[in-house]
Structure 1
């Protein structure tokens, strides 16, 4: 067996060399980016910690603190904002990076009004009709930024025009209304304007991004103080900005002085995408082609030995899973596809075991009620029977392909079989996770995280995620959604929409369209999703909500999905007490469900 693998590898040495080159480029494109990201984060974190330590030792105030904060920002490309215990800003220079105007009221007091919501990247007014001129009299309603003479405006009135900050009002209920004493209403004459040319695009908006994060901190401080403690305990958090794709990193530090007073420092920076820069370096590797060829020849010899033993372990583990024996584990740490396969098989064993344990636990909890217990036992039998059927084909493929690779009796490259096995494992793992989720929904152990949200922007953002799929099938889509606030678990409603839309795209012919509309009925908003060019057999309409039921009779796995999607949709909608159904319409299919509205 070993000799056959070695022979196969040496006969295809040219192909292996190409693979090595490919792996090297992949490492360059992914691994080096991670090193860069980790080094940048580490450097800024150390600089941030040092600044906080120096501040605590030297007790900087006023101009000195502003200068140190500006030096930190210039050296690290990271914004920083420092607050005291009373939420007062200590480094007022932070706001120099904002667009603002200075006004003088009737008493001679000068105040600065942040107007970023009116200014574009070139430092010009987005709408010339809203231009604020020197010497013009204006009225401002906004929130005073403690410790500074800056005001975060909610509304600016001039002449017969009212300029409203949508972002300000977006946090009105959470922040402003809880601090009514900080709301100011002033009027005065514009005496100066400070505009910023943001020549670095989205990267130059770090000040504004950090200010928004600090406002979220202030909201959390009043609503969920425990979450705030966790933020300072962790020291940092990060997220990917949806519209730019940039990774945003936020550092947070609580500095306790010798006098017992606390100061809170926040810093924000972005990690840009450097993938294109590394792509240019790819040409360099042609110059070391000869060296890599020699290296590959050596590695091939060890590869043949290295791959055989893990394959035997994987075959044994796959056979155990196919026999529903989840006790065996594979311990392969080769840091490659085989290691991924090993981890995936272990995850499947864990998830299957967990799923069965949860089903059994659910039955035990419902043992008091004889009828419910009988129903759950029947549900478990049906689910296990369905799982056995669904698992039979992929597990057979995995076991068979592993034996083919181990015996060396195959017609294609080993990587082909490994990739197919990896795909099948991913499908099995997804099926297990959906089974666990369905179990939680059906047994009532899942609790909805209900909140109020605007349905129109929610669906608009959601539909944008399907643009690529629409484009691939030359499909069009139409939106007609009421601008209403509804009540529900937003993550679960998103899951409902994705399942229904995915089915619509999957089964509709090329060139057709999908419509998403809404209708008000008493206290409910009904959402309708229609796809055209295909009908569901009338006898299948009531059965499509059943687990593992596919109206596509061939049970084609590439078209039919896992068979659990609409069952999960049904359970989510029932938890929302939603009115839902599906029906055939003229040359199409219509799904609909209802959500309670806020009044």
Structure 2
């Protein structure tokens, strides 16, 4: 059961908890940025980036990039274009760039990233070398510039560099093609993003209105659930299961005692009723079937007690009647005893022939006695 829980629910649940905390941290940094002055505001985003290895890309609703923030972690070819000034070409991830000859006069075809002096290059050429050439459709705002006085800033390899590049690759299409920012951010933040190495990231965005201008903030944070978290929570759940098991056993014991106590009382009452003790009553005042059974037993006890009282009264009446019958029989026996004795005597006289007068005389005497 526990492995099913971890396999199906734990990763999602743990990721949601982490994402909630990450959003809270990012919202706090955005609030500090919004309430700070310009110099302090930039340091807030830098501090957040260093603390969480999560660069922050800030730009306004009119596609103006705020500060250098994100671009400080990208490799940039800085060039001076006559009549234009300093332009910064974003070349992170282009393996050919470290071999560029900075003394060459470069012909660069690039498109501006939002309202900034940063450019996404399509081609970088010199007289003798092709450093970059992309066979992709050029944007309408693509510019071709001839650059001199070049210098190259390399930022590659660290977590901040890699994550800054991921954010830039995701956001450059929005700024270059001037897509609807809210719709675009809703699309890229809806599902986790997975890079070429298989690492999953959440793109997190926030927006704040300051001085009538909406500013958008975008960062990237990985959410990784490793075996260490699973083992930690596995031990945690074992402890929880033990505690719950003990509580369950205690609850079952208490409930069983609570449920069986009325049954035991009813059993004792019925045992006394069976031994003809009809004075006992079942005092179980519950609003359930046990309470109904208790009331039924009490009714039965009342009826049995009334029946026994009637039987006792009948028995007493029968004893009185029997005593009267005996007295009646005794009186009758006494009353019959004298005449029967006379009759018996005269019968013996007649039978033995000891009479002096005629038998009719003696029979008449018997009738007179009766």
Q: TM-score, normalised by structure 2?
A: 0.55
Question: Residue 49 of structure 1 is aligned with which of 10, 16, 27?
Answer: 27
Consecutive unaligned residues of structure 2, counting only runs of 5 or more, are 252-370
Match of 1:254 in 2: 207
Question: Residue 54 of structure 2 is aligned with which of 78, 94, 98?
Answer: 78
Match of 1:277 in 2: 228
1:109 and 2:52 are equivalent in the alignment: no
Deviation at 1:231, TM superposition (A): 5.6
Deviation at 1:282, TM superposition (A): 8.9
Deviation at 1:88, TM superposition (A): 1.2
Question: Residue 213 of structure 1 is aligned with which of 170, 174, 177?
Answer: 170
Match of 1:90 in 2: 66
Please state whether the residue corresponding to 1:264 is helix, strand or coil.
Answer: strand
Question: Residue 144 of structure 1 is aligned with which of 112, 128, 133?
Answer: 112
Match of 1:244 in 2: 197
Distance 1:30 1:134, change over 3 A: farther
Please state whether the residue corresponding to 1:237 is helix, strand or coil.
Answer: coil
Question: Residue 155 of structure 2 is aligned with which of 181, 192, 196?
Answer: 196
Deviation at 1:89, TM superposition (A): 0.5
1:185 and 2:144 are equivalent in the alignment: yes
Distance 1:160 1:220, change over 3 A: closer
Checking the alignment, whether the CA contact within 8 Å between 2:174 and 2:184 is kept in structure 1 is no
Distance 1:199 1:190, change over 3 A: same
Alignment RMSD, CA only?
4.1
Checking the alignment, whether the CA contact within 8 Å between 2:65 and 2:115 is kept in structure 1 is yes
Deviation at 1:219, TM superposition (A): 6.7
Deviation at 1:98, TM superposition (A): 0.7
Please state whether the residue corresponding to 1:116 is helix, strand or coil.
Answer: coil
1:158 and 2:126 are equivalent in the alignment: yes
Q: Which moved more, 1:45-54 or 1:101-110?
A: 101-110
Q: TM-score, normalised by structure 1?
A: 0.36
Match of 1:343 in 2: none
* Cα displacement string for residues 542-562 of structure 1 (whole angstroms, at most 9, x for unaligned residues): xxxxxxxxxxxxxxxxxxxxx
Checking the alignment, whether the CA contact within 8 Å between 1:113 and 1:153 is kept in structure 2 is yes
* Cα displacement string for residues 173-202 of structure 1 (whole angstroms, at most 9, x for unaligned residues): 6xx22xx2xx332223354322124144xx
| Structure 2 Cα separation of the partners of residues 240 and 188 of structure 1 | 36
| Structure 1 Cα separation of the partners of residues 178 and 84 of structure 2 | 35
Mark the structure with the bigger radius of gyration.
Answer: 2
Tell me which of the two structures has the higher relative contact order, counting C-alpha pairs closer than 8 angstroms and 6 or more residues apart.
2
| Structure 1 Cα separation of the partners of residues 194 and 117 of structure 2 | 30
Consecutive unaligned residues of structure 1, counting only runs of 5 or more, are 1-19, 120-124, 303-599
Checking the alignment, whether the CA contact within 8 Å between 2:79 and 2:151 is kept in structure 1 is yes
How many residues are treated as equivalent by the alignment? Answer: 252
